[in-house]
């Protein structure tokens, strides 16, 4: 077992001992903190008709297991007029196993939860006929994680989809991870290709990466 695998196992075991009340209340506070991040605000752009506001395009994800719940956050983003995308992994077979043919994750726009269907292992994902959103149009990415540290290092689930996808977005695309305080580590190992997220959002505060 690698060091990262050991850390994932340890964090998951710790979260399994937390109460449902803690996870529910913390998830609500995390969602509120995420919505209040300044980068979430509409962009002001000058066009032919003068100054106008343009809502951000956000790539979020559907939480599973003991992850901070994202359903209320996604609902709030949709109701606020933001363009919301969810990931669709395209290298999986009908049983949800990776085919090995290629590694691919796409951002698909949704207008509501009716646009979702059960995907691999029952995780909700956009329907195949939802609109594809190019990586360069994404303004904010909310990434899933197993855990983070206060230096904004993130440890994911190990599939590598987001690591690859992040190489295709704009340099000014803002990235954040949602994490319980209980899942924060003092320091996570970082390999050369591991890039910190711009912010780690917990129920208590928002930790910012300082290069």
pLDDT, tens digit (0-9, with 9 covering 90-100), for 119-132: 876 789 999 899 99
Confidence of residue 2 (pLDDT cuts 50, 70, 90): confident
Residue 50 clears pLDDT 70, i.e. is over it: no
Neighbours of 177 (CB within 10 A): 28
DSSP of 127-145: -TTSPEE-GGG--EEEE--
Chain-centre distance for alpha carbon 45: 26
Residue 172 DSSP symbol? T
Give the C-alpha separation, 30 to 36, whole Å.
10
pLDDT, tens digit (0-9, with 9 covering 90-100), for 86-127: 999 876 566 555 555 555 789 999 999 999 998 876 789 999
Q: For the chain, how many structural domains are there in total?
A: 1
Domain that holds residue 33: 3-208
Residue 22 clears pLDDT 90, i.e. is over it: yes
Give the C-alpha separation, 111 to 133, whole Å.
13
> Looking at residue 149, which CATH number applies to its domain?
3.40.50.10420
Which pair of tokens denotes residue 107? 């951002």
Which pair of tokens denotes residue 188? 């996570």
pTM: 0.90
Mean pLDDT of 22-35: 97
Residue 47 clears pLDDT 60, i.e. is over it: no
Predicted local confidence at residue 4, as pLDDT: 85
């Amino acid at each position: 077992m690698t060091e990262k695998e050991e850390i994932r196992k340890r964090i998951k075991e710790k979260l399994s001992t937390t109460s449902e009340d803690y996870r529910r209340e913390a998830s609500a506070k995390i969602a509120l903190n995420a919505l209040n991040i300044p980068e979430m605000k509409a962009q002001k752009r000058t066009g032919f008709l003068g100054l106008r506001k343009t809502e951000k395009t956000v790539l979020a994800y559907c939480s599973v297991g003991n992850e901070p719940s994202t359903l209320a956050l996604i609902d709030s983003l949709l109701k606020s007029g933001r363009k919301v995308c969810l990931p669709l992994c395209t290298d999986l077979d009908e049983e949800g196993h990776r085919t090995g043919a290629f590694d691919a994750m796409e951002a698909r726009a949704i207008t509501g939860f009716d646009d979702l269907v059960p995907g691999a292992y029952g995780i909700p994902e956009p329907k195949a006929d939802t609109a594809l959103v190019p990586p360069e149009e994404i303004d904010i990415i909310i990434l899933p994680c197993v855990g983070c540290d206060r230096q904004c290092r993130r440890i994911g689930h190990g599939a590598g989809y987001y690591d690859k996808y992040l190489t295709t977005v704009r340099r000014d695309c803002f990235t954040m991870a949602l994490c319980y305080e209980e899942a924060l580590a003092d320091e996570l190992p970082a390999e050369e290709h591991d890039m910190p997220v711009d912010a780690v959002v917990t129920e208590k505060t928002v930790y910012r990466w300082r290069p």
